[in-house]
Structures are given as structure tokens and as C-alpha cells.
Structure 1
Amino acid sequence: MLQKELDMKYRKQKPKKSHKRLRYALLILAILLLSATGFGAYAYQRLNPQNHFKNLQAIGGSPTSNYKAKSGVFNVLLIGTDARKGDPAGHTDSMVLINADLNKHTYNLLSIPRDTRVYMQGYGYTKLTTVQYISQIKHGTQAGIVDTVKTISNLTGVPINFYAETNYWGLQYMVDAIGGIDMNLPFDVTLTHPWYAEDNGLTFKAGTHSLNGKMVTEIVHERYSLPGTDYGRQQLQEEALIGIAKKIVQPANVTKYPALSNSLSNFLVATNMSQEDMISMGLGIKSDFHPNQQIHYRQVKGTNVVMYDDVLQANNDQVVLDSGQLQSVVQQYFTPDASN
């Protein structure tokens, strides 16, 4: 009965087609740049990142019991879903794990493919994109997010302190709210499965382009025309994130921070970050931020294979990440210098 229910619900989503499964690139590192909105209401010492981000708890418990992050260092998972208004659940389409070190002013990012083979507690092996959907159907919205965070934490061995979830409209709103961005394309991009039909076939040549929210979401959603498909898309995610970061720290946008802070619900579906967390993050980042030099995108290669999915009870295409490379990247960039 459960399998029949899941099959019906899952297949109901299928007609929305892959072109509606947006990657959005989770460019909401910009959220971390919401600066010192409302700062005057708080004591500086309490919100200083060295004091605020101290003895943090991992969501769902840490998979590495001997790991203790330094003060001012934390891990954030950015999630992008294909959920529609009125739908009880959505598939996780984009996952970007960020290690933010506000002491060294370095931000290491790791994109995790949506089709990555993972173990879902209580169900078995399945695609990462399925975890949130199934958990939301069975246990509710909040459980879906937490189970996704826990699954990625177990996959990578990285304790995750914060999460932020957005969707297509959230990213578009963010980019438009700051007046669009300049985005450097490392290669030609042709839109083969855009969100809007009128954009089908549009080609953007390699180089820098001034883009509004709609075009940014279309470009970071593209996959099939790119070198390396999913890995090419990850490069576009990096460039769009840097474009947002550069724009939001421009002096002309400082006056927009209060409005952005008060309209978080327009581009954030869910987060466990408090206003104080965001203010402290903004303080730490704003003090010395150079996106091109400080944002580093890491990749872990994977193998495309057809394997049995325990949740869907059928074979499907999955991505098996190189475990050795994953461990190396995690140890070097996501759990380094752990002791205080």
C-alpha cells in the first residue's frame, strides 16, 4: 500500500518535466550578506562572529563526534526545491554546502548533484532528490528539510549548523531586488529547457552579461548545452553567486538591506537562521569581503550508473560520488583546523 501511494504521488510530479526542476544554484550566499540590519539594537560583543558562532550544534547530531569547529566557523546547507504553491511536497533540486570561515574570510562551496545515491534512514538507497519529497509526504515539511540535511551530513561527514531553502521565484526576487547582476559566463550557454517557453533557444556567448532575475534563473537552470552537463551548471552557479555577492556589497545597495531583511519570506522558503545569526554573518563578511578571491567552488566527480532504488523499487539513473575524492575535499575544506 505504501509503495502504491508513493508511486502515485511521485508519478504525479513527473509531468512537470525536468525543465521545471530548477537548480537555482542556491545563490543565497547573498543572504549571508544582509549586513548589519538593525545592528543598533544589539550589543556589538554579543553579535561579533567570534562570540556569536561559538559551540554551535549540528542539525540532527554531528556525524563526526571528534569535530569541534573554531569560533566564527560554521557550515550552511543551501537547498533549492521544485515545490509549487499548494503542493504538499517538492523534490530537492539543488544542494550547496558552504563552509564559512569568518576568521580567514574564506567561503568553500560544494555542489552535490540531485541524483546522488544516498542512504535514506528507514527506506534504503535512493536518489538525494527523493529524500525531502518522501519525508515531507510522510512526516511533514519540517521533517523533510531536517531529513535532507541529515542525509547530506551522513553522506559527507560534515556537521551542518544552518540551512536555507529557496525556489525559482526566491532567486528571481533576490536578483531583481538588488537591480540585477553582472555574470561572467565561462562558456556559451544555450537555453534548451527554460522555465519560460519564449526563452527556448536563446544563446549567451561566453563573457560578461548584465542580467535580471529571470535570465539568471534561466541560465543557472541550463544543463544539456553545457560542457560536463551538471558540472558545467555548477560553474554557472559559482559565477552567478559571485555576481550577486559583488552587487549586494556595492555602496548603492546598502540602503536596500533593511528592505531585504524585512522581506526574507520572498526569497526564503525556510531557514533555521535567526535574525541575530544573519546580522552576525553580515558583520563578519562585510568587514573584509572580496568575492573573487574568497569564494571557492569545490567539485567532487561522480559516476553515472543505473542502480536499484529501494524507495521507488525500480532501477534508475543515479550518481555515485568518488568516495576518496569526497573525503579529501571534506577534510581539506570543510572540517579543517577543527580544534579551538
Structure 2
Amino acid sequence: MVQLNEESRLSHKKAKKSHRVLRYVLLTLAILIIGGVGYGAYAYYKLQPQNHFNHLKAIGQSSDKFKQRTGTFNLLLIGSDARPGDPAGHSDSMLLVHVNLNTHNYDILSIPRDTRVYMPGVGYTKLTSVNYMEQLNHGLKQGTTNAVGAISQLTGVPINYFAETNNWGFQDMVNAIGGINMTLPFNVTLTHPWYAEDQNKTFTAGTHALDGKIVNEIVHERYSLPGTDYGRQQLQEAALVGIAQKVGQPANVTKLPALFGSLSKYLITTNMTQDDMVSAGLSAVSDLHPQQQIHYHQIQGTDEVMYDDMLQANNDEVVLNPSQLQSLTKKYFN
């Protein structure tokens, strides 16, 4: 009888211990779940554009001079000719984007690569050389930051973010979303392709299903186009619309966090964090109608042969119309 009581006591003690251990496990699990949900809710709150894009720092022009609303920012996209392993690259294309995630409108200004600009301590030169020389002298990120500052000074627009990719990075990005449908406004013949097998290929005006390699070739072309560099700008617009349409397809929405999280591997340099990319991307695709929301602007300039202080020689440069530039940036970018 004593033995039974002892066994009963031990059994009861073990049961209490088991219940206590289980209670601790459940409590710990509950804390982790609540913490995870709390973090998720905090992260979700933090990534909302009105919370995330607020009181932003600017490169170049002081943002104190401008009324920058929450949920908006200015982004400079740079496409360079840097090859893998190169220490620097000439900027082939520059797109200044005013992003308004409140209204889901995106104003884009294409800046000609040969635009004449002033660099403090150097003098006058053209934009395509600024990025290259600044990167050689100061490293990739600081060099690009300095080039962004020159564009901010030229346009009078505070620039919050920049992202630079090369042709291979752009090609890989398009392939990562499975290619795009690109509507060409005119016939395009590849006169200076990156790949020899694409020499003299012609694409008629209209919509084409294209992979990253061919999209990359087309947006690089300019000599066969009406208006050369201005024709290239129209092709860049067509590519951006095609990318936006593909990313916004319902089948791709669940892949977006992973896609935006991996964007950095396609970029040479940027000052955007992963949270910046995810917040902007998720907000954009929540109400995405590219053909209605993307507004593309071009600015005319005159081709002139002028002395280049950086190269210390005469050079073909594009001089932008300053009054048109000021009027356009004031209306759409500030």
C-alpha cells in the first residue's frame, strides 16, 4: 500500500513536471508567435509608403527648398556601359523619375547622355563622362553619388535615390520576370549590337514578345532610329511600360518580395535599401496601370561642338533649353 502511494506520488509529480514543461513550451511558442505577428505588423506598417517615404534625405539640391510630400520621392535610374570586372562605366541612359505612391503616378524625364553639365573643381563636360571619371577617382558608389549631384544641380531637382545597372544586369532583370511584351513605336535595326549574331536584325513597329537579350539590344540602339538619342528614349519608355505590365500581372504578385529582394544583384550600385525597394514595389503594383500612370517627358537641346574641360578637347555636346528644363521640372518633379 505504501509502495502504491509512493508510485502514485511520483506519477503525479512527473505529470505536474510534464504539464509545467508543456506550459513553458506553449508560453514560449506563444511569445514567438505574438512577437512574429507583432514584427510582421510593425514591418507592414513601416513599409507603407506614407510611413516609409517620409523626411527623406536628398543628394544635390536641398530638399528644404521644396515641398516633398510623404509617399513621394525622386529616383535617378542610370544605365551604364560597364562590363563585368570594369572599375567604372560611362552612363548610356539617365532617367529621372518622380514617384508618387499616393496617386500612383510616375513622371519620367529622359536626360540625353551627352548633356553639357558643370562639375565643381573641373569645369564643363558631358554627363556620360562624369559618371566614368568620378567612379574612377572615387569608387563606384561615391562616384555615382557625385554624378547624381551634378544632375540634381543641372535640373534643380533634389534626388533621393539612385540605382545604376549595366546592360547585363538589365538583361538579367528582364529574364527574371520571364521576358516582356514591348511595343515598338517604329522599326528598329540593330546597327551596334552587343552580340555579333544580332547585327542588322530588324524589328518592325508593333508589339513583340522579347527576352532580356533582345530588349537589351533594342534599348541600346540609336543610329537607326528617328531622332537617334531621342528615339532611344522612346524605346526606353516602351521597355519600362512592358516591364511594369509584366510585373503587375496577378500571377507575379506573390513573387514580388523575392524579386525586389534580389534586385541588388542586378545593380552596380544604389543607395536604396531592400526595404526601400519592397515598399515602393508593393505599393506600385497594388494599383498598376502603366499606360495611364507612366508619363514620359523629353527635353530638347541643341548639338554643339564645345570645349570639354574634363577631356581638355573639343567635344560634341547637347545643350539643353534651360527655360524648358526649369518649367518641366517645376511642374512635374517638385
TM-score bracket for the superposition, by shorter chain length: 0.7 to 0.9
Q: State the structure with bigger RCO (CA 8 A, min sep 6), 1 or 2.
A: 1
Alpha-carbon separation, structure 1, partners of 2:213 and 2:69: 39
**TM-score computed with the length of structure 2 as normaliser:** 0.85
Alpha-carbon separation, structure 2, partners of 1:91 and 1:42: 41
Identify the range of structure 1 (166-175 vs 39-48) with the bigger mean alpha-carbon deviation.
39-48
What does residue 75 of structure 1 align with? Answer: 74
What does residue 168 of structure 2 align with? Answer: 169
Mapping for residues 48-67 of structure 1, pairs under 5 Å: 48-60=48-60, 62=62, 65-67=64-66
What does residue 228 of structure 1 align with? Answer: 227
Mapping for residues 163-242 of structure 1, pairs under 5 Å: 163-242=162-241
What does residue 293 of structure 1 align with? Answer: 292
Give the letter aligned to residue 289 of structure 1.
Answer: L
**Residue 235 of structure 1, CA deviation:** 0.6
SS of the residue corresponding to residue 215 of structure 1 reads: helix
Alpha-carbon separation, structure 1, partners of 2:61 and 2:328: 21
* Equivalent pair of 2:247/2:285 in contact (CA under 8 Å): no
Alpha-carbon separation, structure 2, partners of 1:185 and 1:282: 25
Alpha-carbon separation, structure 2, partners of 1:288 and 1:262: 20
**Residue 142 of structure 1, CA deviation:** 1.9
Taking a change above 3 Å as real, the CA distance of residues 303 and 215 of structure 1, as seen in their structure-2 partners, is same
Write out the 4+ residue segments of structure 1 that deviate beyond 3 Å after TM superposition: 39-43
Number of residues paired by the alignment? Answer: 296
SS of the residue corresponding to residue 165 of structure 1 reads: strand
Q: Name structure 2 gaps, 5 residues minimum.
A: 1-38
**Residue 85 of structure 1, CA deviation:** 2.2
SS of the residue corresponding to residue 125 of structure 2 reads: strand
* Equivalent pair of 1:171/1:217 in contact (CA under 8 Å): yes
What does residue 324 of structure 1 align with? Answer: 323
* Equivalent pair of 1:178/1:256 in contact (CA under 8 Å): no
**Residue 256 of structure 1, CA deviation:** 3.0
Give the letter aligned to residue 269 of structure 1.
Answer: I
**Residue 65 of structure 1, CA deviation:** 4.2
Alpha-carbon separation, structure 2, partners of 1:186 and 1:82: 24
What does residue 105 of structure 2 align with? Answer: 106
Give the letter aligned to residue 253 of structure 2.
Answer: V
Mapping for residues 226-265 of structure 1, pairs under 5 Å: 226-265=225-264
SS of the residue corresponding to residue 245 of structure 1 reads: helix
What does residue 268 of structure 1 align with? Answer: 267
* Equivalent pair of 1:49/1:283 in contact (CA under 8 Å): no
Q: Deviations over 1:269-328 (max 9, x none)?
A: 111111221222123212211000000100100100000000111001000011111111
* Equivalent pair of 2:60/2:153 in contact (CA under 8 Å): no
**TM-score computed with the length of structure 1 as normaliser:** 0.84
Alpha-carbon separation, structure 1, partners of 2:175 and 2:324: 37
SS of the residue corresponding to residue 255 of structure 2 reads: helix
**Residue 105 of structure 1, CA deviation:** 1.2
SS of the residue corresponding to residue 164 of structure 1 reads: strand
* Equivalent pair of 1:60/1:146 in contact (CA under 8 Å): no
Q: Deviations over 1:242-272 (max 9, x none)?
A: 0000001112223433442343233111111
Q: Deviations over 1:221-249 (max 9, x none)?
A: 11011111111111111111000000011
Q: Deviations over 1:172-204 (max 9, x none)?
A: 111111111100011111111111111111111
What does residue 338 of structure 1 align with? Answer: none
The structure whose residues are more often helix, as a share, is: 2
Q: Name structure 1 gaps, 5 residues minimum.
A: 1-38, 336-340
Give the letter aligned to residue 327 of structure 1.
Answer: Q
What is the RMSD of the two structures over their aligned residues, measured on CA atoms? Answer: 1.5
